[in-house]
Amino acid sequence: MFTGGVSTSQPAPATELPAAPAAEEAAPHPGRRSAAASSLVGWSEIRSDLRSAVLLVSALGLAGIPAGVLWWLLAPRLDFRITSSGPVPVDAVPTSELLIADDGVFALLLTAIGLVAGVLGWRMRRRRGVATLVALAAGTAVCAALAWQVGEYLGPGPTRAALAHVGGRVTTSLTLGSLPALAFAPFAAVLVYVVGVLYTRTDDLGRAGAPEPVAQGTGEALDPVS
């Protein structure tokens, strides 16, 4: 027989261990935009830049008028004296060289306009983006086409009556012999802008007043990571 006292207390139940915390889902980096947020911000910037883009295209297009006048003033042309045997050049300049000189002056003039337009477009910090780039390309293309037409309008060729007037003097027409020269202005403008983009370290291109990064799934702006 047992001689010791019998304990009536029940054994303490085993203490439950707390469940291991679940692995936290990887939160997006606060300094990075989600693809959807970046797309929304991009479309918002394009819509806000439409008005300035239209104005930029209009301004660059109208610049083609003085550019055409300048081409007409700078491009060399050949003078002929009308004789009974036909036109005789006053200065012995081959026609092929004259055409090359006209095209060269036009190409250099448009290249200068494109470079200036690209620099001015890049300096529009509040409007840096796709809309401004497209406006630069379109505006300088319109500028080139208008300069071409204005220059040829101001420098027409001699009429039949002038060619039949013995003793008179006529001047060759101002003609663009190489149509690819029209692409010089858009190419120069886009090149300058792209170079600026390549040398910019931030995704917003240093755009003044650019919106702060937005967290995925929320509408709250996050502080940029230093």
Write out the two tokens for 116. 């200036």
Whether 150 is covered by a domain: the verdict is yes
Whether 79 is covered by a domain: the verdict is yes
Mean pLDDT for 151-169 is: 81
* Rounded-to-integer distance, Cα 184 and Cα 104, Å: 11
Does an H or E element contain 89, and which?
strand 86-89
The predicted-structure confidence for 132-147, as pLDDT tens digits, reads as follows 889 999 999 999 999 9
Whether 28 is covered by a domain: the verdict is no
Whether 29 is covered by a domain: the verdict is no
- For residue 188, give its domain range: 40-198
Whether residue 226 is predicted with pLDDT greater than 60 in this model: the reply is no
What is residue 170's predicted lDDT score, i.e. its pLDDT? 77
Length of the chain in terms of residues written: 226
Whether 77 is covered by a domain: the verdict is yes
Mean pLDDT for 74-89 is: 78
Whether 44 is covered by a domain: the verdict is yes
How many domains in the chain? 1
Taking the model in full, what pTM does it have? 0.67
Residue 2's Cβ-count burial label (10 Å; 0-12, 13-18, 19+) is exposed
Residue 170 φ/ψ, nearest 5 degrees: -125, 160
Write out the two tokens for 101. 């000189």
Strand partners, 86: 83
Write out the two tokens for 193. 């802008």
